[in-house]
Amino acid sequence: MLKSVNTPTGIQLLKEGLSKLKQKFDGTEGEPYIIESKKFKALYFDSESTQSLMDMQAPIRLVVNYTETMMGFLLFHADPKKIAMIGLGGGSLAKYCHHYLPGACILVLENNSKVIALKDKFHVPENSAHFKVLEADGAAYLRDTEEKFDVLLVDGYTKLGQAAQLCSEDFYASCLACLKPDGVLVINFSGAAGLNQIYQERIDRVFQYPSVLVVEDDRMNQILFVSNGSSLNTSAEDLLRRSVALAKTHEIHLARTTQNFLAQRKLDAR
């Protein structure tokens, strides 16, 4: 198992190491650009935030904490057959799912052609029968499709933050309509906690079962889990057993995600 550097300190040191290199790229009007150090390759829209981060020696490894937390859907769907993702970025989640879930059909929806044009530089797989990156507005695609998915992952950001069309009650209704029974929706929220609470309230008005919002250890991201079934209510004992079993085949910190999920669920139940 690869030794992880997914710590707030490690990421901060990396950002500091890259800051001088990337400052000269500001003023590109929000166009994506790549910065490389000896160990990492990063995708930026500006110098304020890292859109994606890749370990040059282990391109499939999930480097940033929140991406590992998003993979917590494995606790509820260990072997999904259909996965849809909104937001490609550097393809971290897409690459991981393609490698570790070979039985899944994966659809990635990305509306920025310039981000898609950089996918080869981040070792994103070529399109095939079971893996496809499609240039499309994710909200519009889900609204119009009749496809059903086991898992929906939403991580769609621009220079200005999360796209407005990915925060509406109508969008969350489209997500619900596209999920199979007991399907799981996972959303990366980054930014003002107050806004994230508003988004969670919208989701809870749409879904019958309550959501769980997990706060990352570095407080920079909040990951929301919600299902159109009762799977998020699985007992703590079963979830802990599942995380141990999944650790045999997945090189991510599922035990940490499980503990954080259970802690938040317990707080919500008070």
- CA angle, 223 as apex, 114 and 93 as ends, to 5°? 45
C-beta separation of 106 from 131 below 8 A: yes
Return d(Cα 163, Cα 251) in angstroms, integer.
31
What residues are labeled active site? 155
Strand partners, 131: 106
* Helix or strand run (H / E) with residue 139: helix 138-144
Query: E strands along the chain, which residues?
Result: 33-36, 40-46, 49-55, 82-86, 105-110, 131-135, 149-154, 157-158, 161-162, 179-190, 212-215, 221-227
Return d(Cα 28, Cα 86) in angstroms, integer.
24
Instruction: Give the strand pairing for 221-227 and 212-215.
Output: antiparallel
Long-range contact pairs involving 102-106 (C-beta distance under 8 Å, separation at least 24): 102/130, 103/79, 104/79, 104/80, 104/130, 104/150, 105/81, 105/129, 105/130, 105/131, 106/130, 106/131, 106/132
- Amino acid present at 247: A
